[in-house]
């Protein structure tokens, strides 16, 4: 964390090298998240690049009271939404099953990945809240800040998302027991 703060301070002073080192701490995590929100791997890479550029350009506006990842994810979500355009409400609307970047990245996995189901069952914002909570271990306050929502909204929708996925999991378990 101290290293991160030092890198942020150096980046605020204008050091691109420091920001490159800082970006290396987050780029895989951001790209993994963007794969769930973009139509192709290339789009996810473009959004990652745009996000890091915007973050460096406006690093002076970063408020150290919040986690750096919170700020980065907020920029990434905006950039991904910008790429999709205002008319496309849900990510699933533009997804091609064969070229789905998320499916490509988990193709080697033997078991069913719950995030694929989550993306089908939950709307974009609830999915993002779930991802930030369980993949990124963010606090409710950080998630609220990232999504620009109230803490109560975040809590309620996290609970709804969990219930939806729990019912999905229990249904899958019932089926496997029935056929097993």
DSSP secondary structure code for residue 87 in this structure: S
- Closest separation between CB of residue 168 and another protein, Å? 10
CB of 145 to another protein, least distance (A): 20
Least distance to another protein, CB of residue 28, Å: 6
Q: Which is nearer to another protein, 89 or 173 (CB)?
A: 173
Residue 14 or 92: which CB sits closer to another protein? 14
The three-point CA angle 130-135-139 to 5° equals 65
| Cα distances (angstroms) measured from residue 172 to each of 101, 115, 118, 158, 179 | 24, 14, 14, 21, 11
Residue 78: CB minimum distance to another protein, A: 17
Nearer CB in complex with another protein: 67/127: 127
Q: Tokens for 47?
A: 């959004």
The one-character DSSP state at 89 is: -
Contacts of 37 (CB under 8 A, 6+ apart): 44, 47, 77, 80, 84, 91, 124, 128
Contact 46, 30 (CB under 8 A): no
Q: Which of 26, 84 has the CB closer to another protein?
A: 26
| Closest to another protein by CB, 105 or 156 | 105
Interface residue list for another protein (CB under 8 A): 11-12, 14, 16, 19-20, 23, 27-28, 31-32, 35, 45, 48-49, 52-53, 56-61, 102, 105-106, 108-109, 113-115, 118, 130-131, 134-135, 137, 162, 165-166, 169
Separation between Cα atoms, residue 79 and residue 82, nearest integer Å? 5
Instruction: For residue 131, give both structure tokens.
Output: 């991802």
- Shortest spacing between CB 5 and another protein, in angstroms: 17
């Amino acid at each position: 964390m101290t290293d991160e703060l030092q890198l942020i301070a150096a980046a605020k002073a204008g050091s691109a090298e420091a920001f490159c080192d800082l970006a290396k701490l987050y780029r895989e995590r951001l790209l993994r998240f963007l794969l769930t929100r973009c139509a192709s791997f290339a789009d996810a890479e473009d959004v990652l690049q745009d996000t890091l550029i915007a973050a460096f350009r406006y690093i002076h506006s970063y408020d150290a009271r919040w986690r750096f990842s919170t700020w980065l994810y907020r920029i990434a979500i905006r950039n991904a939404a910008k790429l999709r355009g205002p008319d496309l409400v849900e990510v699933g609307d533009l997804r091609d099953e064969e070229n789905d970047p998320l499916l490509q990245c988990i193709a080697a996995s033997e078991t069913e990945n719950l995030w694929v189901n989550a993306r089908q069952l939950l709307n974009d914002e609830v999915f993002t809240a779930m991802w930030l909570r369980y993949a990124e271990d963010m606090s409710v306050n950080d998630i609220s800040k990232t999504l620009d929502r109230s803490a109560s909204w975040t809590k309620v929708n996290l609970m709804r998302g969990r219930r939806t996925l729990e019912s999905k999991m229990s249904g899958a378990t019932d089926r496997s027991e029935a056929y097993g």
